[in-house]
Chains A and B, each alone.
Chain A
Amino acid sequence: DAGVTQSPTHLIKTRGQHVTLRCSPISGHKSVSWYQQVLGQGPQFIFQYYEKEERGRGNFPDRFSARQFPNYSSELNVNALLLGDSALYLCASSQNEDLRPPYGYTFGSGTRLTVV
C-alpha cells in the first residue's frame, strides 16, 4: 500500500511568488494535517482537514491556505512567499480526526521549499 505521498519533493521559489504543495493520504484516511518544520525545530501545526472541512488552524498568516478534495487529497497554498517560509512542509494523514490510539499520524517525506 502506498504511504502518504507529497509533491513536489523539492521546490525553489522567488520571494513574492505563490506555491502549491500537494498531498495524497493513505487510502481510507480522511484526515490530513499540514506542518511546517524549520531547520532545527519541531514541526509547527498549520492546518487540519477532516472530511473536507477545516478542523484546526495554527498561528500562520492568511497567506497560508489549504483545502481538501472529495478524494481526501489536499493542497497547501502559500502566497507572497517570504524568505522565512523556507522549510520542510510535512503532510500527515490519520484515520480519525483526534488521533485516538492506537492511531497517530503517518507522515509523508515532505516538500523542501527554498525561497530565494
Chain B
Amino acid sequence: TQLLEQSPQFLSIQEGENLTVYCNSSSVFSSLQWYRQEPGEGPVLLVTVVTGGEVKKLKRLTFQFGDARKDSSLHITAAQPGDTGLYLCAGARTGGFKTIFGAGTRLFVKA
C-alpha cells in the first residue's frame, strides 16, 4: 500500500501546455522530495521542500508543500518533450530513516 498517493497516474499533453501533478497523504512528513526518472535510469532529485506552505521554483517547474505538510504539488509551465518521464514524490518522517515513494505520474509531452 502506497502511503503517498500521486495523481494523475498518466498524463499525455502537447508541447507548450501547462500541467499540475499531485502528491497526497494522510501522514505528516518532515520533508518531501520530487524526483524524475527516465527509462533504464534511477530517479534524479529535483527538489526538497521542508516547510509547510513552502514554494520552490526550478526554471519552469514550481513545487509547493502543503501547509500541513501532508501534500505537495508540481506545476510545469509550457511543457517540453524533454520533460517526459516518471515523476515521483517521496516523503520522510521526522526521526525516521525510511523515505516512502509514491507510485509516480508518468508524463508524456508530444512535440
Contacts and interface: CB of A to CB of B under 8 A. Distances in A.
A79 interface: no
Given A92-B42, A105-B45, A42 B101 contact: yes
Contacts of B96: 56, 98
A105 B92 CA distance: 11
Interface string A27-56: 000000101000011111100101000011
A103 B102 CA distance: 19
Given A56-B96, A56-B98, A104 B88 contact: no
Interface in A80-112: 90, 92, 97-110
Interface residues of A, number: 30
B45 A104 contact: yes
Contact of B43 (A43, A101, A102, A103): A43
A55 B42 contact: no
A108 B41 CA distance: 7
B64 to A, nearest CB: 16
A101 B48 contact: yes
B42 A4 contact: yes
A58 interface: yes
B103 A42 contact: yes
Contacts of A100: 31
B104 interface: yes
A100 B31 CA distance: 8
A104 B101 CA distance: 13
Interface in A44-75: 44-45, 48, 50, 55-56, 58
Contacts of B98: 45, 48, 56, 58
Interface string B78-103: 00000000001010100111111111
* Top-6 shortest CB links A-B: A107-B42, A42-B101, A56-B97, A104-B45, A55-B97, A101-B48
Most buried by B among A44, A48, A99: A99
A86 B72 CA distance: 31
Nearest to A41: B103
